[in-house]
Chains A and B, each alone.
Chain A
């Protein structure tokens, strides 16, 4: 009889352990899921993200350029410098002196751009550029920024990027918070083939497999 009771308790313990294990795994998966990150990431890092955006906006107005981190360790930076006649693409190690030399050669604001690159590296921002789009045949421009948050790199998450768009003026959204083309035309606006969702009137996000 005692043996039976012991066996029953053991079986209950095993079930409890399994349930706990299942709960833990589900917790890890859900805490790392892109959906969870997308709702909170911007507000958690709002100051630094906005600072990067403002800094890039001001610097790229002086002379257009784009920045990309092309490796997983965020040590290699790809810089595209856009002039009237030619776009120049260079790849540097972040600490390489050639980076500063090149920026100086193009008469760009080297200290500020290097500061921007460091900020991007600190928050694992993989890509920033000016993205042109057209509404009623008029050219508009937004800042397109992709980040690889640590959680999106975890074992249980997709290998995805968190992408933000900063519009210069308030945008229109549907009831599900999806970015619309215009107020009257209830068509979803796609940027880089992706549908974006509202964070606030001017900032939207999406989760994408590509950073650009």
Chain B
């Protein structure tokens, strides 16, 4: 309704109708320029005793890279950070200044408050941030390491029940896993989005024509898909694969031609284009999270 009013208002002013991107830009909580300007004013970031393995210069450099190019954020090879990566990507698109301030507060004080969420990471996480290795470019991104470890330490779901406390290498294990309900809870708590989630960890969403459902929602908001990545990116030749979702991706574009769906999505530092049959897409999708920007009155 709000979007429709905005569109009508723009048209009534005699301008050409704005694109979806233009509408989304006007609704953003903060902009990339604001975040970069804020970062450029910081000249005296002191080494933190709380995060002993994160050097301030590298931390700031990582923040700048992230703000300048949010697509490049990388949750790491072999980790279970993909859910946190998807959240961070959405966060950066909507509120880069909020992200910057939150991470700086976390670095300086060792704890931080964002909305109703109070982050107070454990000593084990503080010690490990900056030391993750063999995770690809995440190795040299201390701010992202700190953030993903903090998120995994703070938000818990049933998958984390038997591994609640961090030990080295737990980023690859159930300690860092994200189930679908936990993902949606994190989006609701951290981002200024209204969230409508369809599907579950073991039950596929009943939305009729999935292509139609996803493409309709992408016109007015952002869609995150919870998929079984073991089928999309095969890692072995085992024919019978466990039918469970393992990966979160942010849908960027979707189209249908000759009964073939072309999906462009973001994950792990890049955008990927994949062509799938409607039957295959039905097989791999377990969750569809539809995010729309909250109006001030909703907050």
Asked if B140 and A132 make an inter-chain contact with CB atoms under 8 angstroms apart, the answer reads no
What's the least CB distance linking A83 to chain B, in Å?
Answer: 10
Q: Which parts of B132-156 form the interface with A (CB within 8 Å)?
A: 133-134, 136-137, 139-140
Q: Which of B3-11, B177-185, B266-274 lines the interface with chain A?
A: B266-274
User: Across the interface, which residues of A come within 8 angstroms of B53, CB to CB?
Assistant: none
Asked if B134 and A133 make an inter-chain contact with CB atoms under 8 angstroms apart, the answer reads yes
User: Across the interface, which residues of A come within 8 angstroms of B139, CB to CB?
Assistant: 133-134, 137
Asked if B78 and A192 make an inter-chain contact with CB atoms under 8 angstroms apart, the answer reads yes
B172 interface residue per 8 A CB criterion: yes
A71 interface residue per 8 A CB criterion: yes
A41 interface residue per 8 A CB criterion: no
Q: Which of A30-38, A48-56, A85-93 lines the interface with chain B?
A: A85-93
Per the bound structure, the CA–CA distance linking A3 and B139 in Å amounts to 78
Per the bound structure, the CA–CA distance linking A47 and B265 in Å amounts to 39
Partner of B236, one of A82, A137, A161, A191: A161
Partner of A87, one of B136, B271, B275: B271
Asked if B236 and A209 make an inter-chain contact with CB atoms under 8 angstroms apart, the answer reads yes
Q: Which parts of A159-212 form the interface with B (CB within 8 Å)?
A: 159, 161, 181, 189-193, 209-212
User: Across the interface, which residues of B come within 8 angstroms of A193, CB to CB?
Assistant: 78, 134, 172
Number of interface residues of A (CB under 8 A): 31
Q: Which 7 A-B pairs have the closest CB atoms?
A: A210-B235, A134-B139, A87-B272, A72-B237, A190-B134, A70-B234, A193-B78
Q: Could you tell me which B residues sit within 8 Å of A by CB distance?
A: 77-78, 133-134, 136-137, 139-140, 172, 233-239, 264, 270-275
Q: How many A-B residue pairs have CB under 8 A?
A: 61
Partner of B136, one of A85, A133, A137, A159: A133
Q: Which residue of A lies closest to B264 (CB)?
A: A86
Q: A137-B140, A192-B78, A193-B172 are in contact. Are A86 and B236 (CB under 8 A)?
A: no
User: Across the interface, which residues of A come within 8 angstroms of B134, CB to CB?
Assistant: 133, 189-191, 193
Binary interface encoding of chain A residues 62-83 relative to chain B, with 1 for a CB under 8 A from any of its CBs, else 0: 0000001011100000100010
20 CB < 8 A contacts A-B = A72-B237, A82-B270, A85-B271, A86-B272, A86-B273, A87-B271, A87-B272, A89-B272, A89-B273, A89-B274, A90-B275, A132-B136, A133-B139, A134-B139, A137-B139, A137-B140, A159-B237, A181-B133, A192-B77, A212-B233
Q: Which residue of B lies closest to A188 (CB)?
A: B134
Per the bound structure, the CA–CA distance linking A96 and B268 in Å amounts to 30
User: Across the interface, which residues of A come within 8 angstroms of B133, CB to CB?
Assistant: 181, 190
